[in-house]
Structure 1
């Protein structure tokens, strides 16, 4: 049994060596099965790159969150940008004759993770939904005399309390999600699509042919980045106000424009739509037509009957109240359904995995007993 075990381990090690041994710049180290310690994975250049990429992505997701409420998963693109930034850094230092630490896939992963964490705080921390809406201005817009709007129930934004709040929100992941990761991903090997795709991409970059693939992707990225930048710059020359220029082009006529059906020629939403599933895009389109094309015009015709006619439309006691609470009810109802469904399927999957593991243990013990009886 011992020679056979050693031979199988040697064959398995050779397979790993062929697949992973020379893929990165630390090929010799990986061929020996060596993974850099965590102190080598956390570098000063990595932290700087993380801040730069994270700040850029935070601006992008904040715009998307405040305009559409839709934030696509940007893990894969963050891994690409992290690779581009650090690879350019190391190559620039090499041309200057400055010795630099080799750029590894582990460092690439750290930078990508930190960048994603940056923009996740912008989204999960509530900057695009409730956090900044706690101020006095929003309280007054909702109506000081509105039932349920308790006097003094507002909180002005401040660095001190917001920092503490965001720390509490962010550390929930360490407290709650790390144990779930151990159970669901490591023990039960449940799928994690976005993480798997990011890992495959990063591993592909750190191969002998990874530079060529990354170069093609960077060229495409630079090309369309330039198109988007200069198109936005061109639009700026024709922006003279909230209802002027390309940002509110009345493509379907002025009547449709009054009901917010117009083109804004923003390539940001084109890119977001390309990332999202067509089911999401069609759902958004159907919701826009149903709400802004049918429901809100019909409700606005009932002004003075369903709500007072002498208050601004932006008041929560006016048409805005119907918009907000109908949409919130739809989102919460669907979210609760999906939450219950995920919990049920997760528990079912965990039970099946546990039963399978117990069955394997039982079969193994039966074989041992049979061998001992022989």
Structure 2
């Protein structure tokens, strides 16, 4: 379980390259659930980025990007972190999109040719079950019903999303008529209506919980005055990403640091090449080739959670070597226990943080050179 002391440990190490084990039971449990290839890919991505690339690019400060830039500026090192990760995600996503599209079209073509070759097979066209005007009516009426459901959920703590879904089934079903596919039309209308209406009730529950607990967004800034800063305990990374991307959209790619676009293209192509290698090797031999999508995540967020998740995989592997039957049966239960236990600790941890209580013990691992400096300072 992540101790209160480890929170301070995490805060002190955010200014380093990010290689540390923060004793998070949640990530260890998630690592026991996720396939080993995901965890290993995260670790490889973290080593490649924070262990090799970012230290090398940091030595180019003053040449590739200005020395006066802030740590969260997209014109500096932050730009390399975010856009190279995005390039890998796009490369992996586009490859798999066209892969699935190609396989789908090939399968449809094969079936179409088989049907044309079999004259005894008769193909009957059913009319489309859900017309375009049915969709328009659903989306026009859904916001009003969503308000009704949110209001009722706030009063009674009971969501009637399923009731509004049944209303859509009867309404659209009767409107579509008794032709073939009317059942599908009703079910599709029910799914669309329930998704919209239930979202409104979930949002009302969040507001209601916040009101009953007297919670306020300002409380976060009072308890954590450095909230949102890159080197703080809670850096809020996506806030910085969207804020800087909005500024970047005004100036275009010319605002990116030197060689950033070239590196993005390189990693975009590398993601495609890695996927091609995985598919060419087949399922039996592709297990040791990392996944580009998973590798891209620690490029920006850091590899600290990857180490935790690999520890989870290691625990499950050793357990499986000792007793595979019990590991397969009880592994998910142990992982769930680690995640739940760490989540329960969040409440007392938040109370201690709001009260301004500092951890009594902090742990930090240093290189031998820095450790000698610390010993010399303590001895003085």
Tell me which interval the TM-score lies in, with the shorter structure as reference length: 0.3 to 0.5
TM-score, normalised with respect to structure 1: 0.36
TM-score, normalised with respect to structure 2: 0.35
Q: Greater relative contact order (Cα 8 A, min sep 6): structure 1 or 2?
A: 2
